Every structure is written in structure tokens, then in C-alpha cells.
Amino acid sequence: MKQSRRIVLGITGGIAAYKAAELARLLLKQGIEVQVAMTEAATHFITPATLQALTARPVWIDQWQDAQGMTHIHGSRSADAIVIAPASADFIAKLANGQADDLLSTLCLARDCPLLVAPAMNRQMWANAATQRNVQRLAADGATLLGPDSGPQACGEEGLGRMLEAAELARDVLAFLEGKTARGDVGLKSDLQSDLPDLRGVKILITAGPTYEAIDAVRGITNRSSGKMGYAVAQAALEIGAEVTLVSGSVALTPPRGAQVVNVVSAVEMFEAVKREVARADIFIGVAAVADYRVAQTSTQKIKKSDAALTLQLVPNPDILAYVAALPRPPFCVGFAAESEKLRAHAAAKRKKKNVPLLAANLAQDAIGNDDNELLLFDAAGEHRLPRADKLDLARALLRHVVTLYQKGKKK
Ligand code: CTP
């Protein structure tokens, strides 16, 4: 790692180009030298003068502007990375195909340093098979994808394709320069195998974490679920292109990028959120540790202590998974079973009772709060063991199984 860190910030034509100014500012603040290179299209969205003033360096635009015409070669030689933000669909296509018809694309082709790419485009452009092919090829060639994120877009539509915020990009670029990989990229990662299942266009609804059932203003009934498994399932689903809605109880985790998150507290709130979202879902995965009971009468004030015994009356909560599975046109349903004993017998019975095609069973004492786990899957064909692994790897293996069954079901 060089002492003074330096990046080339490549800006291409897209409305997200305005965020590049803030990105440059944040990186400069971290002591990183920033040399800006823009495509001609980018100059229609943000002026070179803005970037020049921020970075105190002339902005590179025209490949013919320097007398020796060697900017494209020496431009990347002293850089620790080239960061393209925003990267338009067109520019990604150029990169994937090794085209070099302007200064920035030539710089990228001639580089001898890592390439980081932050896509920014309309959701349909992102979902287009050509873009996905290009992105996959870029990742296979060793580029690091930062995002994209999902949310409202400048065109008025909503979905996956918007560029990450400048602060998120700055954090990821810094992490990269410090030798770590960026966390939580939604993009296809270069370390993923080409035999990955493909869930593009498929909507997955996931519940995660514990629920909290209030007793009074300050006390409640909850459980030790950390939400790690549910969040790992969401992350794994995003990696293979699914649109993910994550209905989450209170957890101390950062949601995976690109997931649409609905935060809830109690089982009833989780139930209401699932009822609202389920019509759009193709697959439902209930990972949440939902409290089976809630207090019949919650007190809005803190209950005062007395010498008498206190009895709390508990009433059953709705069974969210069973409700979804019993819908007239249910999504493909996957349940989890946390058991403390007789794993096989309880899990097989639970699968039948809740009427779900797939149930992932684990020992509660093994799973709760840990970073790794193992699962026993139950489906119509019988039992399948997913050996002990980190929760994200386990979630990826689970999703392979889910996708196989889901696609088989669709063909019928
Ligand atoms: N589940 C749910 N709603 C509930 C209870 C459970 O959606 N009110 C879901 C969980 O998210 C999980 C599955 O049902 O996918 C099984 O949860 P688990 O706690 O193992 O089983 P329970 O149905 O609660 O049965 P028991 O507590 O008797 O084991």
C-alpha cells in the first residue's frame, strides 16, 4: 500500500453524477488524492469547474488535450484504484467489452490498478439481460461492484439501479484501499460461481429477528434471536438477483443493501406487514422467531411492584407462516423450525401442520446468536443436510435448494 493514497474518480453520464462531487469531497477529507476524469456525457450533468474547484486539479476529459497524448497510460500508474461513480449502463457495456473510445474508457483499459464500479441507471436498464451479462463479465474480470441500491429513481420509477449514496461509496472505497472488500454489495460478486441460481425478477418476502410483546411501558416478552440467519438469507437472495422485502423485528444489524426493509416490533405488527406485502411475493421465507403468545392486557404505564403474586394472561399470536401457506394462491413457502430436542420428529410434524413445501430445521441452542449453524431440510423428497457453515454460506446453500423447488413447482 502506497503511503499517500490516490484514486482516479471516473464520472460518466447520468443524473447521479451530482453525487460524485460529494464523493470527491468525502474522499479528499480522508486524505485521499482525487484525480477526476469525466466522459463528455458527464459534463452535461455536472460541470468540470465544480470538480476542478473541489479537487484543485484540472479535470481530464479530452484524450487529445495533452500534447504527448499519454494521459491514458500514466493516468492510472500512480493510482491505487480507478473508481467509476456513476457508471452508466453504456459505460459498463464499454468496460465489459474492452472498448476504448474516449479518455476514461482508455484509462480503464490501460490501467494497472483495481477497478471499482458504482452502477447507476433506471431499474429496467439494470435488469436488462444485456446489462446483467456485462456486469457479470466485469465481475469475472476482477472489477469490484459497489451497489447498486434500490429505491426511488430520478425517472419516477422505483427499484434496483440507483447509485449508492456518496457516504456509502466513500466508506466502501476507503475499506477497499485499506485492504478489505466492500461489504454487502448487491452486485454479482466475482467470487460467486457461474452455476449460481438466478432469481432475477423474483420477489422474496422474508421475516427475520425476534418479536417483542409488551407487558407494560418498559417491559416485554422477547427471545434471543439475533436476526443473523434472516439477514443472511436476504443477502443471499439479493446476490442472485431477487427483489427482497425484509420484515424485521428489532435487531442490531445493518440490513443488506438493496433490501426493502419494514421494521416491526410485535408479532401482530409483523403479521400486518406480511399481509400488506405478501400479494407481491413469489417466495415467502419465515425466518423470524415469532412469539407464540402476547399479553392479553398491556399496561400503558409501568406496572408497580407489590407483595402479591402477579399473573399475566397470555393469548396466542397469529401464526404468520401458516396464514401465508393457507392463502388461496400462496407464494412458495419456506419455514424454519427451532427445536430444542427431537429435531427430526418435531420438524417433520411442523412441516405437515403448517403445510409448507420446505422447512429448514435447526437446534435452537445451536443457532441462536451464533455466526454459524447447520440445517436439516425437509421437503416432499425427504431430508437433506446442510453441513455446519457460516450463516451466509448456509443461506446461499439454502437458497439453491429453494430455487430448485420453486422452479420445479413453476414448470408443473
Ligand atoms: N412462525 C410464524 N408465526 C408464528 C410462529 C412461528 O410465522 N406465530 C414461523 C416461524 O417464522 C418459523 C416457523 O413458523 O418459520 C416455525 O416457528 P417455530 O418457532 O419453530 O415453531 P412454532 O410454530 O412457534 O411452534 P413451537 O413453538 O411449538 O415449536
pLDDT per residue as tens digits for the range 247-264: 999 999 999 988 999 999
Q: Between 333 and 367, name the one with better pLDDT.
A: 333
Catalytic residue among 108, 113, 155, 333: 155
Residue 361 Cβ < 6 Å to ligand 1? no
- Chain-centroid distance of CA 271 in Å reads 23
CA of 289 to the centre of ligand 1 (A): 7
* Mean pLDDT calculated for residue range 164-190: 65
Q: How confident is the model at residue 68 (pLDDT cuts 50, 70, 90)?
A: low
Domains of the chain: 5-189 (3.40.50.1950), 192-300+310-411 (3.40.50.10300)
Query: pTM of this prediction?
Result: 0.62
Residue with cell 440445517: 375
Q: What is the 3 state secondary structure string of the chain? A: CCCCCEEEEEECCCCCHHHHHHHHHHHHHCCCEEEEEECCHHHHCCCHHHHHHHHCCCCECCCCCCCCCCHHHHHHHCCCEEEEEEECHHHHHHHHHCCCCCHHHHHHHCCCCCEEEEECCCHHHHHCHHHHHHHHHHHHCCCEECCCEEEECCCCCEEEEECCCHHHHHHHHHHHHCCCCCCCCCCCCCCCCCCCCCCCCCEEEEEECECCEECCCCCEECCCCCCHHHHHHHHHHHHCCCEEEEEECCCCCCCCCCCEEEECCCHHHHHHHHHHHHHHCCEEEECCECCCEEECCCCCCCCCCCCCCCCCCEEECCCHHHHHHCCCCCCEEEEEEEECCCHHHHHHHHHHHHCCCEEEEEEHHHHCCCCEEEEEEEECCEEEEEEEEEHHHHHHHHHHHHHHHHHHHHHC
Please tell me the distance between residue 366's alpha carbon and the centre of ligand 1 in angstroms: 17
Please give the number of the atom of ligand 1 that sits closest to the Cα of 335.
15
- Give the separation between CA 143 and CA 138, rounded to whole angstroms: 6
Distance of CA 193 to the CA centre of its chain: 18
Determine what percent of the chain is predicted with pLDDT higher than 70.
Answer: 92
Answer whether residue 334 shows pLDDT above 90. yes
The residue whose C-alpha atom lies closest to atom 27 belonging to ligand 1 is: 292
Q: Is 290 in the pocket of ligand 1 (CB under 6 A)?
A: yes
pLDDT of residue 196: 60
Query: Atom 16 of ligand 1 has which residue's CA nearest to it?
Result: 337
173 vs 164: CA distance, rounded Å? 12
Separation of 404 CA from ligand 1 center, angstroms?
24
User: What is the 290 CA–ligand 1 centroid distance (Å)?
Assistant: 6
pLDDT band at 157 (very low <50, low <70, confident <90, very high): confident
Ligand 1 centroid to residue 219 C-alpha, Å: 23
Choice from 319, 342, 362 to test ligand 1 binding pocket (greatest atom count within 8 A of CB): 319
C-alpha cell at 90: 453504456
Contact 36, 51 (CB under 8 A): yes
Q: Which amino acid is at 337?
A: A
Q: Model confidence at 187, in pLDDT bands (50, 70, 90)?
A: very low
| Angstrom distance (rounded) from CA 164 to CA 157 | 16
Ligand 1 atom nearest 267 alpha carbon: 8
- d(CA 330, CA 320) in angstroms, rounded, equals 12
Atom of ligand 1 nearest to the CA of 336: 15
- Half-sphere CA count of 91, side-chain side, radius 13 A: 30
* Ligand 1 lined by 337 (C-beta under 6 Å): yes
Active site residue 155: yes
pLDDT at 74: 72
The predicted model gives 205-213 an average pLDDT of 98
* Mean pLDDT along residues 55-66: 85
Label residue 193 by pLDDT band (50, 70, 90): very low
* Mean pLDDT confidence for 168-192: 59
Closest CA to 335 of 314, 356, 364, 313: 356
pLDDT for residue 4 is more than 50: yes
CA distance 412 to 396: 25
- Give tens-digit pLDDT for 136-156: 888 888 888 888 887 777 878
